[in-house]
Each structure stands twice: as C-alpha cells, then as structure tokens.
Amino acid sequence: MFNAIILTAYPEMFPGNLSYSLIGKALKEQKFNLETIDLRNFGVDQRNSIDDEPFGGGPGMILRPDVVEKAVLSIKIDPQKNTERIYLTPAGKLANQAKLGNFSKLDNLIILCGRFEGVDQRAIDVLNFEEISIGDYVLAGGEIAAQVLLEGCIRLIPGVLGQPESLLEESFSNNLLEYPQYTRPKVWEDTKKVLHEVPEVLTSGNHEKIKEWRYKESIKKTKVKRPDLYIKKEQDK
C-alpha cells in the first residue's frame, strides 16, 4: 500500500483536500495511508524552535538540519521497502505526470514541507532528499504543494478512480493535452441568447469517428497551448 509520510510544522493542515471526493474515499478505504510528523516535536531549546537565522544574513528563518534529521530518523519503516524522500521547493525539478506515476508505485513517499525561507541545504544533501517543484511560483509553505502532489499520485493508484481507462486519455498522456469535453444540454443557450451546439460527431454513435475526432482535437489543442509537448511527441515518434 502506498504510504505518504509528511514532515511538517503544521500537521493540522492534513489531510486537507485529500479528505474529499474520490481521494478521500480511497483514504477511508485504506487504499493509501497518510501519516504526519510534527517537526516541532524535534525542536531545540525550551521553545522547541525548529528554525534559526540564516548565516550570511538576509530575511526570514531557515529550518535547522538537526531538527530535520531527528524527524527523519523517527520514521519506522521496513528498509527493504521502496522508499523515496522529497523536499518541495520552487528550486527543485519540475514535477510531471511521469514523475507522479513513478511516485505512485512506491511503498513509502516521505515529503518534507519547507516553511519560512527554506531548509538548511545540509539536511537536503545528507538525508538524500530529492528537490521537487510543482511550478514556477512561491507559496508560503510546502503543505499545500504536498497535497497537490499527493493527489496527483494517489489518483494513479489502481482502484482509486472509478474508470481507470480515463487515465489513458487525459492530459499529458502520450504528450498530448486532453480533447475538449461536452455534456448536456446538447444545445445550450447562454445569457446573451446565443446557441452553442455540441459537435455533431459526439452524438453520432460512431465510436471510431468519435475516437478519430478526439485525437485530432488533442493534437490541435496541444499545438496551440503546449507546443513544447507537441514537439516532444513528434520527437518520440
């Protein structure tokens, strides 16, 4: 079973979004396990401090390496199990669908959530944390980023989604964005009294033509919105 272990100064933020919808159902059905470890339990001095001022000066505070190490060493898992440690940071390698797929196959994924100005680099290097980013922007901490990354992993676990075949056609599969989707009403009249119809092929009942249309729309959408993905798809050929 996929086991997510979160190192955080704010364990009360979990499970957060992971307690809702299909992901929340999977958590209740124990299709994955979520554990939080409070970094403040390993703080120093009478205040249980977990951070300190950066050497060399500068704003903000830095998570101490000794605190992170003690938190990591408190984790009791089978050393034979497939385990990875990641630190969520804007400076990390950008996560993608393939990366999430690899994570979802692990026995244990240990996630360090940064706060303040970050984590002492020695802790990241010595404890073998892989630096991962969910995007080119900065958040106040890694907790929301951890929930984003975990949702992306957990939905890939067999049995979590009601229709697993949908994973084969969604965005980023085969380096393509997903085709446009439509539902009822077949003809929609907006507030400006303009009529908008569903593409006729989708109501034709001809599954081969529908499949062909969807593929062409995926190609078209990817060329316009993510030409980098389209180039990669062409190179993969």
Q: DSSP states of 78-122 as a string?
A: -TTS-EEEEEEEEEEEEP-HHHHHHHHT-SEEEEEE--TT-B-HH
Q: Nearest Cα to 113, choosing from 12, 210, 203?
A: 12
- Using the structure block, give the residue that is written with the tokens 């984003």: 148
Q: How many residues does the chain have?
A: 237
User: pLDDT tens-digit profile of 69-93?
Assistant: 999 999 999 999 999 999 999 999 9
C-alpha triplet 203, 204, 205: angle, nearest 5°: 95
> What is the SS3 assignment for 214?
helix
Q: In degrees to the nearest 10, what's the CA dihedral of 66, 124, 89, 98?
A: -140
Burial 48-86 (b: 16+ CB within 10 A, else e): eebbeeeeeeeeeebbbbebbbebbeeeeeeeeeebbbb
Mean pLDDT of 157-183: 77
What pLDDT, on the 0 to 100 scale, is given for residue 166?
A: 58
User: pLDDT tens-digit profile of 116-168?
Assistant: 889 999 999 999 999 999 999 999 999 999 999 999 999 999 999 876 655 55
User: Peptide bond preceding 79: is omega within 30 degrees of 0, i.e. cis?
Assistant: no
Residue 183: CB atoms within 10 A of its CB come to 8
